[in-house]
Amino acid sequence: MKRTQVQFDEAQLATLRALAAEKQMSVSAIVRQAVDELVARNRSTSRDELWKRAAEVPGAFASGQTDTAREHDRYLAEALESE
Range of the domain at 33: 1-60
Domain membership of residue 15 (yes or no) is yes
State the total domains in the chain.
Answer: 1
Is residue 17 within 8 A of residue 29, CB to CB? The reply is no
Domain membership of residue 75 (yes or no) is no
- pLDDT tens figures, 1-10: 999 999 999 9
Q: How far apart are CA 54 and CA 28, in angstroms?
A: 38
Domain membership of residue 6 (yes or no) is yes
Domain membership of residue 82 (yes or no) is no
Domain membership of residue 39 (yes or no) is yes
Predicted pLDDT at 35: 95
Is residue 14's pLDDT more than 90?
yes
Domain membership of residue 70 (yes or no) is no
Is residue 13's pLDDT more than 80?
yes
pLDDT-based confidence at residue 68 (cuts at 50, 70, 90): confident
Is residue 67's pLDDT more than 80?
yes
Predicted pLDDT at 38: 92
